[in-house]
Amino acid sequence: MVALIEWTAGALVLPRPSIIDLSELFKVSAPGLAYIVLGGFVFSVVSLLVKDKLFISEVVLGTAFGALVGPYGWGIFDPHSWGSSHKVTLEVMRIVLAIGLFTIGVELPRNYMARHAKGLLVMVVPTMAFGWVTVAGVLHVLFKDLNFVSCLAIAACLTPTDPIICAAIVGGNFALKHVPVNLRHMLSAEAAANDGLAYPFLSISIYLTVESSKRVAVEKWLIIGWLCMFFIPLTRSVGLTFSWLMKASLQKGYIDHESYIAQYLALTLFTVGIATTVGSDDLLAAFAAGTAVSWDGDFNVQTEGEAFASVMDLVLNCGCFVYIGAWLRFGAFDDPLLGVTPGRLMILLVAIMVLRRVPSLLALYRWIPEIESWREALFVGHFGPMGVGAIFVSTLALTRLPEPQYPPQNQQELLAATLQPIVSFVVLGSIIIHGLSIPCFSFGRKFSRTSTLLALKKVSAPT
């Protein structure tokens, strides 16, 4: 240790001031800026005002904040600068989706999937198939350089309902007060199920694109499909076994209450790890495991009143949508050489909002017991947001496609170049439209009520 004050020949000698290199103290790095941005997101400070009064979810605010601090805003947070951004984006979306799907599964009522299997089957399979083909048709009309198989691949990314946005919307105070509980549960279960079922739609499109033989493409698709079908019952068995072990351990005092609650996060990661390793559908596996854990209702009883799940969901959602906001490449929305223009993207967005879900649900709602009227069918048809799931599926597709040249040299490269600009624009539009739908409904109700009261006052006023 160096003495601060020295004595020399009986005289007091003060040390010379040292020169400190500030660069040794302050090191600006991409991870450091990312932590500052994600940790500095001030949504939690005004969450009561925003969520309870304005009914604006963290989805809209997080995306707006991410765009503000991203490369097209202040430029302090750029996920694309982190090396292999596709891999980072893929894993971020995978973890957020898996935890969200597992959470939906464990929070559904006891035996929900068995008791409502008919309604879910009618709502999920025909609606997804109709939306997939319809969106592909619209894409083929607007983007003529893309063949129909490429359009099917893009449509597969936009077919599933996003469970993260859906959970944030149906779990808000306005929805709790004004949306029937049967519709809230149905929307959550349907979003989780069809998000997991997006993989078969994507895989057949990608195989038909990259394989020279259609026969080989179909054979690979069937093998992958059977693998997924085999693994889902196995995942349910893991969830049921886990539930039984945790319940027995808690009863015998082998595990405390806090650890019991935290185990569901461990099971989520465990399930995703196994599914990814064997090449199965990890999202559907996470949802299946979640529904198995809550099958007898004991998990819901044990976790009643606990804030762990809701707090973790809030933190993950905020971080994820800040990431998405900064990840969006606004400059890619206008690239005439690829056939991508703002006008075409706007027409596509409007067509998707109108045609993707609403017609099929209006036609099928009579066979869905949970939907009692055409108004409820219209509501359910409207609330089919696209977000984290669409970005995950589109990024997964890019890992199976060649790196595109500019301009693209073939159909595979054209699909790889146009896939995420189209998907990300629709995701941005969906976040704005679906994220602000509840505030608009609330404002409309208040405005209608105020207008009615004013009209009654005019009628009752003496002339």
Query: Per residue, what are the HEC states of the chain?
Result: CCCCCEEECCEEECCCCCCCCHHHHCCCCHHHHHHHHHHCCHHHHHHHHHHHHHCCCHHHHHHHHHHHHCCCCCCCCCHHHCCCHHHHHHHHHHHHHHHHHHHHHHHCCCCHHHHCHHHHHHHHHHHHHHHHHHHHHHHHHHCCCCCHHHHHHHHHHHCCCCHHHHHHHHCCHHHHHHCCHHHHHHHHHHHHHHHHCHHHHHHHHHHHHHCCCHHHHHHHHHHHHHHHHHHHHHHHHHHHHHHHHHHHHHHCCCCCHHHHHHHHHHHHHHHHHHHHHHCCCHHHHHHHHHHHHCCCCHHHHHCCCCCHHHHHHHHHHHHHHHHHHHHCCHHHHCEHHHCECHHHHHHHHHHHHHHCCHHHHHHHHHHCCCCCCHHHHHHHHHCCCCCHHHHHHHHHHHHCCCCCCCCCCCHHHHHHHHHHHHHHHHHHHHHHHHHCHHHHHHHHHHHHHHHHHHHHHHHHCCC
Is residue 422 over pLDDT 90?
Answer: yes
Q: Which of 60-69, 193-202, 290-299 has the lowest mean pLDDT?
A: 290-299
Neighbours of 211 (CB within 10 A): 15
Banded model confidence at residue 340, pLDDT cuts 50, 70, 90? very high
Region 73-79: what's the mean pLDDT? 85
State residue 461's pLDDT score: 55
Region 428-440: what's the mean pLDDT? 84
Region 275-300: what's the mean pLDDT? 79
Q: Which of 16-20, 34-38, 136-140, 330-334 has the lowest mean pLDDT?
A: 16-20
State residue 20's pLDDT score: 56
Banded model confidence at residue 306, pLDDT cuts 50, 70, 90? low
Q: How many Å apart are CA 137 and CA 348, to the nearest integer?
A: 11
State residue 49's pLDDT score: 60
The domains found in the chain, sorted by start residue, are 83-439 (1.20.1530.20)
Region 3-12: what's the mean pLDDT? 51
Q: To the nearest whole percent, how much of the chain has pLDDT over 70?
A: 78
Q: Which of 16-20, 205-209, 286-290 has the lowest mean pLDDT?
A: 16-20
Q: Looking at per-residue confidence, does 375 or 179 come out higher?
A: 375
State residue 47's pLDDT score: 60
Q: What is the per-residue pLDDT across 30-69, written as a single tens digit (0 to 9) for each?
A: 667 777 777 766 555 556 566 666 667 778 888 998 998 8
Region 111-127: what's the mean pLDDT? 87
Banded model confidence at residue 4, pLDDT cuts 50, 70, 90? very low
Neighbours of 245 (CB within 10 A): 13
Region 233-241: what's the mean pLDDT? 80
Region 337-363: what's the mean pLDDT? 94
